[in-house]
């Protein structure tokens, strides 16, 4: 990967293959000179100091390999002639008829005029090197391009607008201030001048440690799941109506439903999209005491249990047409760390009066459809609350979890050292470690290896 930014790069920016229009992007100090050699056109309106590009209408003159005469192509050029561009250097986007051989010829001609072919992600790399984006935002650009559904697009856009960078950058600034105080104190150690009180130091370091740990935990839970769709697990006693509810929400008869208690023996996963959010809806075997001689039932119980533990959201199903069982009573009392919704099923059989369910229970019926829309809404609201405030794209979670955890650990030990009256030097060393790790996340500290990992996944032209 080339970190040079003083040559001028060119690449196809639109999707490969034939189309009505193709876009070629050129960036570098020589953009204007390169264009002058090959483009005839009039300068449209535009203000050099504006962030808006100049719009040039004209023709591109290309020397054909097969024909003696030049090929003249109608072209529209958007030109950012100063540093007010994506890459913070002169940049042009050339709109041409989208024929692959013509676009190819245009790119080769631009190379003959002084540009060179760009590598993968090199435009975004330049934006990063110029300080326009940090690394998490560069990854978000890729997240936007790769987004498969509205939810992942939303995460990528939030990250692009600084969702992860802003809290991390302000944390780094705060830690840099603390470090400066400590280091100033070290310089005057003989005079016994204190630049920051121990109590203040302890309070700030502990707060930073907690914050970084919580971000690390969020990223960690994100990178562990193989699919980004959150897991919503239906559970409850046999015959409570779990499989019926799965079928109703999934809109297909995926799970077997029957009046025989203990119908579901396995677990069943269905991908469901509600309000543009994709989720995995998981049906489990009804919870019951099973004798150790019934191996299938025992297996069903342990499979259900493990799904239940891995849930992002649990849906406790209780038959609202029956008096509440001791199991349901006990289950309702149990504190659950995982967010949970309580659903009173079979509402159509209650004659409008369900048994004594607690008030936040949602009453549903798969026969009349009662409460199903409310349930869909409640699932989405609960998931948005439970998946944390900072959405991140999966590649960032994978790249940064270890760094954030290392930063959190260093800060926790800095907090311990402060409490135990250790010397400022030790505390400063831990702070430096944390700063270095946080710097790697946003790219304030980077190595070629880190840049390679981030940008090699990009396609050429981005
Ligand atoms: N009237 C009515 N019957 C329902 C409703 N939901 C489920 N049932 C019936 O209740 C019985 C049990 O439903 P299932 O969906 O199989 O229950 P389950 O919780 O999956 O049961 P197990 O798999 O055995 O744990 C079936 O006969 C369903 O037709 C409902 O909303 N209204
Ligand atoms: Mg079932």
Instruction: Please give the CATH architecture assigned to the domain spanning 150-224+392-443.
Output: Up-down Bundle (1.20)
Residue 97 pLDDT more than 90? yes
Q: Note the CATH number of domain 9-132.
A: 3.30.1360.120
Cα-to-centroid distance, 257 and ligand 1 (Å): 6
Region 423-435: mean pLDDT is: 94
Residues in the chain, total: 462
For residues 9 and 116, give the distance between their C-alpha atoms in angstroms, rounded to a whole number: 5
Residue 346 CA from chain centroid, whole number: 38
356 neighbors 325 (Cβ within 8 angstroms): no
234 neighbors 313 (Cβ within 8 angstroms): no
| Model confidence pLDDT, tens digit, residues 142-172 | 888 888 877 778 788 888 888 888 888 889 9
Ligand 1 binding pocket mutation candidate from 241, 249, 286 (most atoms within 8 A of CB): 241
Report long-range pairs for 262-268 (Cβ below 8 Å, ≥24 apart): 262/238, 262/286, 262/288, 262/297, 263/238, 263/239, 264/300, 265/296, 265/297, 265/300, 266/300, 266/303, 267/303, 267/304, 267/307, 268/243
Tokens 């790790």 -> residue? 437
Cα-to-centroid distance, 239 and ligand 1 (Å): 5
Ligand 1 binding pocket mutation candidate from 235, 243, 370 (most atoms within 8 A of CB): 243
Which sequence spans correspond to the domains of the chain?
9-132, 150-224+392-443, 231-386
Q: What is the pLDDT of residue 225?
A: 45
The verdict on the CB of residue 263 being under 6 Å from ligand 1 is yes
Region 252-260: mean pLDDT is: 81
- CB-based contacts of 291: which residues, under 8 Å, 6+ apart? 297
Q: Note the CATH number of domain 231-386.
A: 3.40.50.300
Residue 388 pLDDT more than 70? no
Region 413-426: mean pLDDT is: 92
* Lowest-confidence pick of 366-375, 383-392, 435-444: 383-392
445 neighbors 206 (Cβ within 8 angstroms): no
Diameter over CA atoms, the chain: 91
| Model confidence pLDDT, tens digit, residues 102-138 | 999 999 999 999 999 999 899 999 999 999 999 999 9
Instruction: State whether residue 104 is helix, strand or coil.
Output: helix
| Model confidence pLDDT, tens digit, residues 330-387 | 998 887 777 899 999 999 998 877 677 877 789 999 999 999 999 999 998 888 776 5
428 neighbors 179 (Cβ within 8 angstroms): yes
The verdict on the CB of residue 179 being under 6 Å from ligand 1 is no
119 neighbors 2 (Cβ within 8 angstroms): yes
For residues 322 and 20, give the distance between their C-alpha atoms in angstroms, rounded to a whole number: 64
What angle is formed at CA 418 by the lines to CA 415 and CA 424, rounded to 5 degrees? 120
For residues 302 and 315, give the distance between their C-alpha atoms in angstroms, rounded to a whole number: 18
> Which residue's CA is the nearest one to ligand 1's atom 21?
239
The verdict on the CB of residue 345 being under 6 Å from ligand 1 is yes
132 neighbors 51 (Cβ within 8 angstroms): no
| Model confidence pLDDT, tens digit, residues 200-220 | 999 999 989 988 988 888 777
**pLDDT, mean over the chain:** 87
Q: What is the pLDDT of residue 233?
A: 94
């Amino acid at each position: 990967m080339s970190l040079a930014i003083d040559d001028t790069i060119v690449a196809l920016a639109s999707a490969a293959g034939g189309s009505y229009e193709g876009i070629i992007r050129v960036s570098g100090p020589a953009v204007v000179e390169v264009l002058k050699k090959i483009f005839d056109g009039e300068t449209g309106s535009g203000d050099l100091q504006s962030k808006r590009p100049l719009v040039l209408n004209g023709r591109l003159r290309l020397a054909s390999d097969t024909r003696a005469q030049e090929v003249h192509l109608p072209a529209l050029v958007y030109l950012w002639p100063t540093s007010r561009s994506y890459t913070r250097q002169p940049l042009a986007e050339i709109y041409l008829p989208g024929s692959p051989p013509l676009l190819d010829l245009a790119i080769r001609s631009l190379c003959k005029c002084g540009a060179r072919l760009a590598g993968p992600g090199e435009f975004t790399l330049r934006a990063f090197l110029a300080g326009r984006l940090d690394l998490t935002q560069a990854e978000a650009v890729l997240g936007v391009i790769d987004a498969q559904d509205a939810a992942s697009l939303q995460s990528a856009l939030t990250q692009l607008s600084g969702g992860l960078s802003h809290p991390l950058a302000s944390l780094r600034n705060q830690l840099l201030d603390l470090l400066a105080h400590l280091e100033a104190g070290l310089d005057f150690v003989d005079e016994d001048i204190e630049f920051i009180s121990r109590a203040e130091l302890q309070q700030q370091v502990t707060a930073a440690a907690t914050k970084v740990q919580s971000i690390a935990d969020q990223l960690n839970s994100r990178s562990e799941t193989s699919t980004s769709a959150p897991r919503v697990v239906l559970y409850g006693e046999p015959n409570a109506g779990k499989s019926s509810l799965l079928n109703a929400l999934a809109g297909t008869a995926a799970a077997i439903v029957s009046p025989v208690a203990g119908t579901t023996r396995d677990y069943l996963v269905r991908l469901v999209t509600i309000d543009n959010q994709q989720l995995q809806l998981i049906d489990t075997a009804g919870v019951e005491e099973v004798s150790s001689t019934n191996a299938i039932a025992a297996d069903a119980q342990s499979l259900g249990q493990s799904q239940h533990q891995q849930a992002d959201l649990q849906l406790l199903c209780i038959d609202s047409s029956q008096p509440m069982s001791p199991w349901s009573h006990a289950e309702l009392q149990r504190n659950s760390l995982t967010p949970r919704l309580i659903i009173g099923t079979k509402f159509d059989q209650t004659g409008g009066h369900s048994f004594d369910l607690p008030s936040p229970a949602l009453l549903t019926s798969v026969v009349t459809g009662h409460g199903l829309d409310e349930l869909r809404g409640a699932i989405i609201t609960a998931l948005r609350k439970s998946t944390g405030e900072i959405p991140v794209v999966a590649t960032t979670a994978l790249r940064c979890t270890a760094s954030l955890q290392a930063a959190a650990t260093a800060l926790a030990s800095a907090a311990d050292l402060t409490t135990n009256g250790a010397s400022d030097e030790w505390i400063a060393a831990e702070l430096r470690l944390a700063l270095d790790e946080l710097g790697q996340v946003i790219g304030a500290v980077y190595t070629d290896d880190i840049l390679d990992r981030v940008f090699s996944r990009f396609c050429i032209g981005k």
